[in-house]
Chain A
Amino acid sequence: MTELRLYMAQRLTALIMAPLVIGHIAVMIYAVQGGLSAGEILGRTRGSLFWALFYGSFVAAVSIHATIGIRTILSEWAGLRGTLLNGVCIGLCAVLLVMGGRAVMAVTFA
């Protein structure tokens, strides 16, 4: 049943990402209208719980979604199986979570 759980997790994270991607792009288009600077972005995002949750959930969903996709590629194209496959994927998921989490912390915590 692991296969089914991974399948569901990948689809559910896609459902979470869809509105976040649209929101991300829409805000980008809106925000660049008056010129864009690091100060302007940080002024909007620092100390904002909303943007911390918005990009925090984005990072979590991407880390899970991407890892499951890469797991399939590693299995079918590189022939990884079993513990090695799962170990590599848990590591990859952790790297994505840590890197994304650091980026979110950097722009949302003052």
Chain B
Amino acid sequence: MPDEHRTAATRPASNEAATLAVYVWRGDAGGGAEQRFDVPKQDSQTVLDVVTWIQQQADASLTYRFACRVGMCGSCAMMVNDEPRWTCRTHVERVASDGELHIAPLRNLPVIKDLVTDMDPFFDKWVKAEAVHHPSAGRADGFAAVTPDDPQRIEASAGIECINCAICYAACDTVAGNPDYLGPAALQRAWTLYNDSRDGGGDAILDAVSQSGGCHSCHSMGSCSHYCPNDLDPMGAIAGLKLATTKRFFGRGKGGGRS
């Protein structure tokens, strides 16, 4: 994104309209509505900057969630003009439509208040997908040799930069239609662990992702991979799980279900 790297000095002095019309969803689990705030425009302003300005300058009761501000913690995801985005790394000038921003809590998750959603269903599904470490060695054992160019390790490494932001979960239409669906992030984590030579739960993972709402519910629409802010490919990971479960179904899996 070359635009985002331009300095203030080289940026065209546009800013004819000095304010942004920002519509923020206010409410709780019982319902709510958009509230308009006029926020001063600034160079290199992020959507999180806008929300922070509102909370600090206009209405201290606005509730939202953030931590690192640099795209590492995954806590500031919101719907921005109806698309899920990591707000700390999303520049206003890239997403504002006619000088307007509509900011809402993440889709597919219950709202607690304003822009804060309850993430419990999202993380509960990680556990349900067996996306947890299954130790295969104890402290007395030596270090596991991990070869970076091993094909299975390459599959595992492809998914390890997930920051648990739930943007894929909010983007997924299958989650919207099927509340039991485990979702792209949990399934991708399961696929990562399945391919990790240090994880001893291959069969437990395949059992978990074969249950109702598991990887076979995915319709490969690809919103998860499209919206992932870290350019990961949950849809590809889910395809890997489908293939691994199919191989095991026909008795072609080996070594703890791995192939």
* Contact (Cβ within 8 A) B249 A4: yes
* Contact (Cβ within 8 A) A7 B216: yes
Which residues of chain A are near B177, meaning CB under 8 Å? 75-77
* Contact (Cβ within 8 A) A2 B216: no
Which residues of chain A are near B63, meaning CB under 8 Å? none
* CB of B230 within 8 Å of the partner chain: no
* Contact (Cβ within 8 A) A76 B174: yes
* Contact (Cβ within 8 A) B246 A1: no
* Contact (Cβ within 8 A) B178 A3: no
Which residues of chain A are near B178, meaning CB under 8 Å? 75-76
* CB of A8 within 8 Å of the partner chain: yes
User: Count the A residues whose beta carbon is within 8 Å of the partner chain — how many?
Assistant: 12
* Contact (Cβ within 8 A) A2 B249: no
Which residues of chain A are near B212, meaning CB under 8 Å? 2-3
> Closest residue to A7 on the B side, CB-wise?
B216
Provide the bound-state CA to CA distance between A79 and B18, in Å.
Answer: 47
Over the window 183-194 of chain B, the binary record of Cβ atoms lying under 8 Å from chain A Cβ atoms (1 yes, 0 no) is 000000000000
User: Count the B residues whose beta carbon is within 8 Å of the partner chain — how many?
Assistant: 15
Which residues of chain B are near A76, meaning CB under 8 Å? 174, 177-178
Which residues of chain A are near B245, meaning CB under 8 Å? 4
A8-B246, A8-B249 known; A3 vs B216 contact (CB < 8 Å): yes
Which residues of chain A are near B216, meaning CB under 8 Å? 3-4, 6-7
Closest chain-B Cβ to A71's Cβ sits at a distance in Å of: 11
> Closest residue to B219 on the A side, CB-wise?
A72
> Closest residue to A4 on the B side, CB-wise?
B210
Closest chain-B Cβ to A79's Cβ sits at a distance in Å of: 9
Provide the bound-state CA to CA distance between A8 and B249, in Å.
Answer: 9
* CB of B211 within 8 Å of the partner chain: yes
Provide the bound-state CA to CA distance between A7 and B177, in Å.
Answer: 18
* Contact (Cβ within 8 A) A3 B214: yes
Which residues of chain B are near A3, meaning CB under 8 Å? 210-214, 216-217
Closest chain-B Cβ to A5's Cβ sits at a distance in Å of: 9
Which residues of chain B are near A77, meaning CB under 8 Å? 177
Over the window 1-18 of chain A, the binary record of Cβ atoms lying under 8 Å from chain B Cβ atoms (1 yes, 0 no) is 111101110010000000
- 17 example contacts (A-B, Cβ-Cβ < 8 A) are as follows A1-B211, A2-B212, A3-B210, A3-B212, A3-B213, A4-B210, A4-B214, A4-B245, A7-B216, A7-B242, A8-B246, A8-B249, A11-B246, A72-B217, A75-B178, A76-B174, A76-B177
